[in-house]
Structure 1
Amino acid sequence: MKLVATSLLSLSLSLAPLCANADELRAKETFAVVWERLQNSGFNGKQESPDWTALKAEHQSDIESAKDIDALRREISELLEALKASHLELIPSSAFPKKGEAPKSGNAELGLRLAVIDNHLMVERTIPGHAASSAGIRPGWIVEKIGNFDLAGVLAKKHAGKSLKPRGLTVLQLTVNGMVSAIAPGTTLDLQLRDADGGLRMVALTARENAQTQTVLLPNLPPLPLRFESHRLPVAGGCVLQVEYSQWAMPAYDQLMQTLREHGDCRGVIIDLRGNSGGLIASLSAISGLFVDKPVSLGTMITTGGDLKLTALPRVVDNDGKDIRRFSGPLAILTDRGSASCSDIFAGGLQALGRARIFGDTSAGMALVSASIPLPSGDHLLYPTADFVDPNGRRIEGVGVIPDTPSPPTARALRDGRDPALEAALAWIDTSA
């Protein structure tokens, strides 16, 4: 259930090499596969269906007559964008390891998280010991360019009324965070920034391996980095456990299960899903099960073949027969516009059940169930297979999960070294536990 197979897809379409000639494109067969999957996907649920006849008339000829791989990708992407839904992406073949080749390592990062704030792309967080903090970059700085990607120009056009594509700011935030957090060790990126005083800073950052990050392989998706962090925060009368993981995958469940064993005595737990763009739906059911005492529905997947309940599944013992420590105390979830797909559903489901309270900013609203298949052209298609509604019947797609306590970041707070969402969550736990 991955939002964007890599957060760089929209950018990678323009950067992917021209790796096939016209004879190798198999454009007509590729269109046939794409069209069949889109028509039968059922992603609209009970919403009004697109005008399939008009869409086919507008896009089929351009796709089938594409002369090179770049043109084919561009035309297919235009068709996908016309459907105005999440989980519709064309994944270039270059994102996957070649046959017989080991998966490329993507477990390096520059050590910063970015967010769109006040019509600027700002540094929201830096990780000590990584390239960004070592170079003196601080939260609240404005990022104007990453390489040749003119972020300031993109946001200026949006501010002037020239709107971005649907979900533009969300996709932009996901894309740039992918650029700085899912890259090979040794990769260098040039950044143009403005510091807190408005001074221009030109910085070259080289990605470093992160011992807390591992490469996760999901079916028909490129290798994805999973970073897991936990912090025991001292508070009056005990502690609060803060956990952050960058993808939804079973290794995140395993690490969280062990972390709860070690720190389950804390008064509350904070799950930080800011920037977590999705992953494997099975891990969502498993992780949710660590916070409930019996199976409960997190919502309903609406497919063309019928409705399916998505269930939080608590386990009693792990694979080694050891008791699993579930947490029943106050649970806070931090979200932002980069919290997508599984993150949307986890936050929305537990909020609707009254099991968790949400802090931060409204989530991405990209909450469709998806799958990925190879295409005759060599690329892969990520496409939605079902709509989703929470336990109260509320559709999250296109809306997002609205925090119980809105506490988005501000430029002033970042420059002062504050985290409004974390502060609000800690204050709530302090009064609840």
Structure 2
Amino acid sequence: MSLPYPRVEVALVLVAILLFSPGCSSPPRGESDSKPTSEPELAVESARPMSAERAALHLASFDKVWTTIRDRHYDETLGGVDWEAVRTELRPRVVAATSDEEVRRILQDMISRLGLSHFQIIPSAAIDLMEEVEEAEDERQGFAEDSDAAPVSGESATERAGDGKASSGARESASKRKRRRGGLGRPGLDLRVLDGRAIVTRVRPGGPADRAGIRTGWSIVEIDGRNIGPVIETLLETYADQSLGSFSMRQAIRGRFTGQPGDEIAVVLEDADDARHEVEVELAPSPGKFARFGQIGEYVEFESRTIDGDIGYIRFDIFLGPSLLPDFQAEIEKYRDLPAPGVIVDIRGNPGGIGMFASALSGWFFENDGAPDSGLELGRMVTRDRGYPLIFSVNPRVDAYPGKVAVLVDGCSVSTSEIMAGGLRDLGRARVFGTRTAGAALPSVIERLPNGDAFQYAIANYISKSGEVLEGRGVEPQEVVELSREALLDGRDNVIEAAVHWIRAE
């Protein structure tokens, strides 16, 4: 899956019945490409001489992936793909491969023929990195328990107008910088590609980007001396008319903002007047809570506040961790007792997580009438044998929140986010604002391969409450609201404003 950053994109994927988005390592649906689509920095391992033993492990891995899809895919027709022909074509290429990365590309090519989300090969080094991340987090938390010292943070950087190119100093520092992608460092910002430009959509107050002087609405021009314009052009062409396009473009650019706490990233941005600002963003640890589930781990950032006087606003960036459910409950009860006329649940950019969390959270918006079975559901998973489906049942709560509910989504809302938004919409309990979601809502599992890599594959198809297949289609909001750069430059969020206007209306 792809969580907020590419270390997640490669390593932190769907496990068991988790519902995460696919990594950007897969080509767009319906395309086959033997070239790697992830960035070179994320390739994880360099080529090395292939021993006979290693070659045998790769061949066994190919056979396992091919056989697993043949026997366990939820659609026994594989969407019409001639799976025997695929094996005949690609197996000899694995035999002739000379590096681990070449084998990964072949395997990714094979599974991309299905044209579905939640199928990917996860390099072994990415999983090893997850272990390093967890160890580092353990050390960090241990330090925090014994000290009142603040976590590593960035210093404010000088911003100045430039001539459109990064200074020689910035380029020199960038060339000397040997950051490892996928570390614990975070820049404290989010972005989207709007009208062909990478626009800063959120800046965490007090975070690295904020201290560097970066503001919402600014356009990102260069990262570490590299102009990202051509990157965006390529991404726009590659993901044209693809439901995962927005998500994939965001991840590709956010991947350049990763590293270890203390690493500095040179960034050139343009403000509302197209004046250039050259800043250094020093990465810092995430302020969120670290959560682990199986081979998946990520920081969970949870935000709740009152806006426009008395309207509740809740935002969280992943459906994961033991703290999410009680944190959500506490805030909902607070807004219920206020009482708030409406609550906004912002899951824009949320890549999913534990599927049943969508059911658990949604229950707080339905009052328990004492019936033994409410019959409420967000949707259901249908497996290959068409037996008993996995139903995302909603359990109503005693003293549930009775007010209006607005759910905010966009093209970077994936999997569990789509299940929750679409289900609440179909049940008539919430109004959805924003843009169409990513259309990647398949449950999947992860299995280790003989060569040490891992294989993520979908095991069922998701059908929404209204009977729609979300895969490749996504959830269409009742109120389509495109995020506005002009509003962001003015310090506003026009999607939130639309939700507030609806809540205030009689």
Flag whether TM exceeds 0.5 (same fold): yes
**Structure 2 CA distance for partners of 1:312 and 1:177, relative to 1, 3 Å:** farther
SS of 1:48 mapped into structure 2: helix
The answer to which of 415-424 and 20-29 deviates more is 20-29
Q: TM-score, normalised by structure 1?
A: 0.87
Counterpart-to-counterpart distance in 1, 2:233 and 2:500 = 36
Displacement of 1:349 in angstroms is 1.1
Q: Is the 8 A contact 1:333 1:357 kept in 2?
A: yes
* Other-structure match for 1:321: none
Question: Does 2:293 match 1:200?
Answer: no
* Other-structure match for 1:190: 266
The answer to which of 299-308 and 110-119 deviates more is 299-308
Question: Does 2:386 match 1:314?
Answer: no
The answer to which of 97-106 and 407-416 deviates more is 97-106
Displacement of 1:104 in angstroms is 4.4
Query: 2:215 aligned to 130, 138, 141, which one?
Result: 138
* Other-structure match for 2:200: 123
Query: 1:344 aligned to 418, 425, 438, which one?
Result: 418
Query: 2:329 aligned to 233, 257, 279, which one?
Result: 257
Q: Which has the larger radius of gyration?
A: 2
Counterpart-to-counterpart distance in 2, 1:98 and 1:396 = 32
Counterpart-to-counterpart distance in 1, 2:22 and 2:97 = 24
* Other-structure match for 2:430: 356
* Other-structure match for 1:303: 383
Counterpart-to-counterpart distance in 1, 2:458 and 2:209 = 36
Q: Is the 8 A contact 1:29 1:376 kept in 2?
A: yes
* Other-structure match for 1:96: 127
Query: Structure 2, unaligned stretches of length 5 or more?
Result: 1-17, 27-37, 138-182, 368-373
* Other-structure match for 2:451: 377
How do 1:152-231 residues align onto structure 2 when only pairs under 5 Å count?
A: 152-157=229-234, 167-177=244-254, 180=257, 184-211=260-287, 213-221=288-296, 223-231=297-305
Q: Percent identity?
A: 28
Counterpart-to-counterpart distance in 2, 1:343 and 1:302 = 19
Provide the alpha-carbon RMSD of the alignment.
2.9
Displacement of 1:388 in angstroms is 0.6
Q: TM-score, normalised by structure 2?
A: 0.75
Q: Is the 8 A contact 2:222 2:269 kept in 1?
A: yes
Displacement of 1:13 in angstroms is 7.1
Displacement of 1:234 in angstroms is 3.6
Counterpart-to-counterpart distance in 1, 2:307 and 2:437 = 25
- The structure where strand makes up a greater share of residues is 1
Q: How many residues align?
A: 418
**Structure 2 CA distance for partners of 1:96 and 1:408, relative to 1, 3 Å:** same
Counterpart-to-counterpart distance in 2, 1:100 and 1:118 = 39
> Which residue identity is paired with 1:384?
A
Query: Structure 1, unaligned stretches of length 5 or more?
Result: 317-323
Counterpart-to-counterpart distance in 2, 1:47 and 1:288 = 33
Counterpart-to-counterpart distance in 2, 1:359 and 1:375 = 41
SS of 2:106 mapped into structure 1: helix
* Other-structure match for 1:399: 473
Displacement of 1:149 in angstroms is 6.6
Query: Which digits, 9 at most, give the CA deviation of each residue in 1:170-201, with x for residues without a partner?
Result: 31213434654x75433333333333222333
Question: Does 2:362 match 1:288?
Answer: yes
